[in-house]
């Protein structure tokens, strides 16, 4: 009986000790620390901080190079910031992929999303009838083709442009396009001009960018046994072939299925117009890359191209062509497998990250 009493006593003592330890641990967790960014500025331009949404927006003067800017960030005493204040950052694509800043203090943290934009207004769409203009944002030009027989002295464009800007000639106004016409946007005290030219004739078919990681960023879904996928992964090696900062990426495990990668749906591509595709691929393992083209009118088309072993660890541009008589009438989805060649039986393949970028449909 005494033995049973001792066991009970020791059990109660152990429970009390564990309870006391848990209380002490809870008491050591500090949830009162301040993790708010107090100010955020770049070259003297103050950012607008939205404390409820944890966002910061900085509007830089027109002409600012956004590719290498350093921010001065004020945080509470005792807090830590990553990336640190004064770190040079490429903000060129932050309006699509905001830069994340983490403020850590004690046991808590905040994650802010920072968008840095140059003050500028743009024409984003220029339509006359059923024809859509070709806009060159660098050259500030719009080129639009209209059908034969069109009276170009009385055309009424539908123009879309930056919210908050004003435009002249006014949207919806009939305009004589016998000669090129300059459209001027006024925005936040600045003016931006586009030269619009109208040509009578058939419009050319231009390459169609399906994904590029920066401003055309549909979300890839995982295919096969891919454990994770990113549509905005950092470019592992910027070079002349691919100097943009973001790409798509998966981690390939040794035991993954051959058909492991990513897919894009919701496409509406005419394969009678676009019959070949280009894709940039970066990896450190030679083997076939496969595109699977899915759509109406025929079976899925699986197109393979070799990623060469003599240029491992470099961006390679691969071209995939639909075969003659493929039968597809509409393309709805494209799947990418960056390593269709099996790796399960290769003792030298330990798994690594693979990347692709710049998926483009090209006309015949």
Give the range of the structural domain holding residue 296, as residue numbers without chain letter: 208-363
Q: Are residues 170 and 76 in the same domain?
A: no
CATH number for the domain spanning 166: value is 2.60.40.2340
- Residue 6 in any domain: the answer is no
CB 305 within 8 A of CB 319: yes
pLDDT of residue 20: 46
Write down which residue in 118, 149, 179 finishes a domain.
118
Is the Cβ–Cβ distance between 183 and 159 less than 8 Å? yes
Q: Are 132 and 146 in contact (CB under 8 A)?
A: no
pLDDT of residue 29: 61
In a domain, 13, yes or no: no
Domain assignment present for 247: yes
Cα dihedral across residues 261, 265, 269, 272: positive or negative = positive
pLDDT at position 351: 84
How many residues are there in the chain?
364
Q: Is residue 14, in this structure, part of any structural domain at all?
A: no
Residue that is last in its domain, among 84, 118, 152: 118
Q: Find the CATH number of the domain harbouring 213.
A: 2.60.120.260
Instruction: Give the pLDDT score at 217.
Output: 86
Are 137 and 240 in the same domain?
Answer: no
Written as tens digits, the pLDDT of the chain (364 aa) is 433 333 333 344 444 444 444 444 445 666 778 999 999 999 999 999 999 999 999 999 999 999 999 999 999 999 999 999 999 999 998 988 899 999 999 889 999 999 999 999 999 999 999 999 999 999 999 999 999 999 999 999 999 999 999 999 998 899 999 999 999 999 999 999 999 999 999 988 999 999 999 889 888 998 887 767 888 899 999 999 999 999 999 988 888 888 889 999 999 999 999 999 999 999 998 999 999 999 999 999 999 999 999 999 999 999 999 999 999 999 999 999 999 887 888 888 888 889 999 999 999 8
- Domain boundary residue among 118, 143, 158? 118
Claim to verify: residue 248 and residue 104 sit in the same structural domain = no
pLDDT at 30: 65
């Amino acid at each position: 009986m005494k033995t049973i009493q001792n066991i009970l006593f020791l059990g109660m003592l152990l429970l009390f000790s564990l309870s006391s330890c848990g209380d002490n641990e809870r008491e050591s967790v500090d949830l009162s620390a301040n993790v708010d960014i107090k100010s955020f500025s770049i070259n003297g331009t103050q950012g607008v901080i939205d404390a409820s949404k944890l966002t910061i927006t900085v509007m830089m003067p027109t002409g600012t190079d956004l590719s290498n800017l350093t921010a001065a960030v004020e945080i509470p005493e005792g807090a830590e910031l990553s990336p640190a204040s004064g770190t040079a950052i490429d903000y060129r694509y932050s309006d699509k992929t905001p830069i994340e800043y983490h403020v850590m203090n004690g046991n808590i943290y905040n994650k802010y999303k920072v968008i840095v934009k140059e003050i500028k207004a743009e024409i984003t769409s220029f339509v006359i009838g059923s024809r859509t203009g070709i806009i060159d944002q660098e050259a500030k030009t719009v080129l639009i083709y209209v059908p034969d027989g069109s009276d170009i002295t009385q055309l009424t464009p539908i123009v879309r442009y930056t919210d908050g800007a004003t435009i002249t000639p006014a949207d919806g106004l009939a305009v004589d396009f016998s000669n090129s016409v300059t459209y001027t946007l006024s925005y936040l005290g600045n003016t931006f001009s586009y030269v619009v030219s109208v040509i009578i004739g058939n419009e050319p078919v231009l390459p169609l960018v399906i994904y590029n990681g920066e401003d055309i960023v549909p979300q890839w879904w995982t295919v096969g046994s891919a454990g994770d996928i990113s549509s905005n992964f950092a470019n592992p090696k910027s070079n002349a072939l691919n100097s943009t900062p973001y790409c798509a990426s998966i981690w390939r495990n040794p035991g993954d299925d051959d058909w492991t990668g990513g897919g894009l749906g919701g496409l509406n591509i005419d394969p009678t117009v676009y019959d070949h595709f280009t894709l940039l691929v970066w990896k450190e393992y030679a083997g076939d890359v496969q595109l699977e083209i899915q759509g109406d009118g025929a079976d899925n088309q699986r197109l393979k191209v070799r990623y060469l072993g003599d240029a491992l660890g470099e961006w390679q541009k691969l071209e995939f062509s639909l075969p003659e008589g493929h039968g597809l009438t509409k393309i709805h989805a494209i799947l990418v497998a960056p390593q269709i060649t099996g790796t399960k039986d290769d003792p030298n393949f330990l798994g690594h990250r693979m990347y692709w970028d710049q998926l483009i449909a090209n006309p015949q």
